[in-house]
Structure 1
Amino acid sequence: MSTAELDAAGITEPRLRHAYTRCRELNAEHGRTYFLATRMLTAVQRPAIHALYGFARFADDIVDEPAQGATPADIEAALRAVEAALFDGLRDGRSDDPLLAAVIDTAHRYEITEDLFDDFLTSMRMDLTTSDYADRAALEKYTRGSAEVIGLQVLPVLGTVTTREEAAPAAAALGLAFQLTNFLRDVAEDYERGRIYLPSDELAAFGVDQERLGWCVAQRRTDSRVAAALADQIATTRAIYRRAEPGIAMLAPVSRPCVRTAYVLYSEILERIEAAEYDVFSRRASVGTRRKATVAAAAFARALWARRGASRQREAV
């Protein structure tokens, strides 16, 4: 992480600087679209966003990328250890852990409540015991902690022109929309990990069951029933994007270009799935580099303009 970002955020302690830098590295390595969007935030905001992403990635990898030979009991124990260290640190206001130190510091700086971390870790544990979801309500119990709370965690870092409570539903919806987009893009990868994150009853309405999905994964192609089911899931996800979109205007002006960029680029993944005729089994839907650059360039210009406006306001006070 550039020293300018850490200096701007007032992070001077070497232990914390190291922790924030590690979180930034995780974001840059694994969350490329997300990382690109964070470049539009002010230097003061970026370390906190990296810390929240870094912790989420760290916990997720315990479940999805366990050590060779690790049993479910081993993974559960590792998650419990992280949970204990996190909540001890939140209560103490500090941690010597080389990664947790950053997220604990961020939680205290921005008054991010413990229940959001508790909900997140609950969903991570669900991945150890739950392989599919009977209906939308069951899936929403999982996505509450795995997606909606992420939007709620970053909200105080982004800042709002309304109350945090008023902006919260849209922030949660955007986190949900992003994750549902990932679920659609990663159907084959998730299936190979033994998980299906699409509601079983909604798939069944189109004649799709686990066996049908397994056939598509094995054959690396989509049949007409699965294509129709995916089209229905995309329509549902787009409705959630629409629910989230008004929340962008509730954010602090300096944060809107970042969130708008993430909104645009992530929602366009759905268009890429449609353009590929719902083939999520032989390819990974993604937004091209040129398109990302075009969207980012326009957003960077808006971000600079917003920062100048904020600077003029501070000078006038």
Structure 2
Amino acid sequence: MTELDLAYQNCRRIAAQHGRTYFLATRLLGPERRPAVHALYAFARMVDDIVDDSAAPVRAEESAAQLDRIEYELRGRLARTGRAGAGSWPVSSPQDRILLAVSDTIRRYAIAPEHFWVFLDSMRMDIPGTPQFRAHYPTMAALRTYMRGSAAAIGLQLLPVLGTVVPVPEAEPAAAALGEAFQLTNFLRDIAEDLDRGRIYLPADELTAFGVDADLLVHCRKTGRTDPRVRRALSHLIAVNRDIYRTATPGIDLLTPRVRPGIRTAATLYSGILDQIERTDYTVFTRRAVVPRHRRLRVAAREFAAAQPLRRTYAS
């Protein structure tokens, strides 16, 4: 087994361990595409873990330096021509393995490297002490600037791997919107965790329209009770989130037929988190909304069954 094979295996383990919904959706993709999707997930997860580790002031400078090193090494790997160049860098750590796999994926599927630089720039916005750092976002436009790198870029990274039935640029707006929809769902689900880290990833002006400010959110976190004003604000933002899903989901039909069930499953399950938030009466300060395992499996099975006629049609 080659170093590259081992690198992809490592990425698969990371995806299976940390991205349950994401990993389940990839099972509906063709086996030839799964390693690339796992590599992209593992790269994003690695960077996210570094950013999460930056909460302590003593770690922030080191975290920023780590992102700089990752960008430097990834640029260096991509500057080498041919797949052999990806393996010419040393592989001595889990981080090296992820970089080996993701650089091979970028090269193999001709993914625009700019999507990775935009992603890393947004991640620097999460690290205290960097010029880009932000703990709060005054408007949805400001939050979308962050999500352009943290989420839309992920959709654009995935698009060449998934394949399209139209020219890639035609499918990019929907792919970017789906990444943004997933990210906003995360923000609504993870309000409590983000508050514990001193962050609010919801637009301040839209919260203010419902009488909600940072102090009220912190109070709800401390008491474990969702104030009626917060409940109304969350209801509004869930509606905004669902509108983004409505914009994004028609783009699934622009993907190659074989991958549509996997992406549709991911979209259904992620949007289902919004249903869970509502079902539990917006108790986001004391519990993390999770789609039950039986529903995840049922949705995946339904999409897989619906895909069988398409698979036979396109295989014949």
Relative distance call for 1:78 and 1:18 in structure 2 (3 A) is same
Query: How many Å apart are 1:143 and its aligned residue?
Result: 0.3
| 1:1-317 aligned within 5 A | 14-65=2-53, 70-92=58-80, 93-94=85-86, 95-96=89-90, 97-128=96-127, 129-312=133-316
Amino acid at match of 1:113: A
| Alignment deviations for residues 1-31 of structure 1 (CA, whole Å, 9 cap, x no partner) | xxxxxxxxxxxx6111111111111111111
Relative distance call for 1:196 and 1:67 in structure 2 (3 A) is closer
| Alignment deviations for residues 223-273 of structure 1 (CA, whole Å, 9 cap, x no partner) | 101001101110110110000011011110001000110111111111111
Is the CA contact (8 Å cut-off) linking 2:191 and 2:285 kept in structure 1? yes
Moved over 4 A (4+): 66-70
Equivalents in 2 of 1:305, 1:21: separation in Å? 31
Amino acid at match of 1:14: T
Is the CA contact (8 Å cut-off) linking 1:40 and 1:303 kept in structure 2? no
Q: Secondary structure at the match of 2:32?
A: coil
Q: Secondary structure at the match of 2:257?
A: coil
Is the CA contact (8 Å cut-off) linking 1:181 and 1:237 kept in structure 2? yes
Equivalents in 2 of 1:99, 1:70: separation in Å? 26
Q: Secondary structure at the match of 1:120?
A: helix
Q: TM-score if structure 2 supplies the norm length?
A: 0.92
Is the CA contact (8 Å cut-off) linking 1:255 and 1:303 kept in structure 2? no
Equivalents in 1 of 2:55, 2:278: separation in Å? 36
> Unaligned stretches of 5+ in structure 1?
1-12, 313-317
Equivalents in 1 of 2:8, 2:313: separation in Å? 28
Q: Which moved further from structure 2: 91-100 or 142-151?
A: 91-100
Is the CA contact (8 Å cut-off) linking 1:76 and 1:125 kept in structure 2? yes
- What's the RMSD between the two structures over aligned residues? 1.5
Equivalents in 2 of 1:68, 1:177: separation in Å? 29
Equivalents in 2 of 1:64, 1:159: separation in Å? 32
Equivalents in 2 of 1:39, 1:166: separation in Å? 26
Q: Which moved further from structure 2: 275-284 or 66-75?
A: 66-75
Equivalents in 1 of 2:311, 2:104: separation in Å? 25
Query: How many Å apart are 1:130 and its aligned residue?
Result: 1.0
- Percent identity over the alignment is 54
Equivalents in 1 of 2:63, 2:237: separation in Å? 31
Q: Secondary structure at the match of 1:206?
A: coil
Q: TM-score if structure 1 supplies the norm length?
A: 0.92
Q: How many residues align?
A: 300
> Unaligned stretches of 5+ in structure 2?
91-95, 128-132
Equivalents in 2 of 1:68, 1:17: separation in Å? 36
Is the CA contact (8 Å cut-off) linking 2:54 and 2:60 kept in structure 1? no
Query: How many Å apart are 1:304 and its aligned residue?
Result: 4.2
Relative distance call for 1:274 and 1:256 in structure 2 (3 A) is same
In structure 2, what is the equivalent of residue 5 of structure 1?
A: none
Equivalents in 2 of 1:123, 1:308: separation in Å? 42
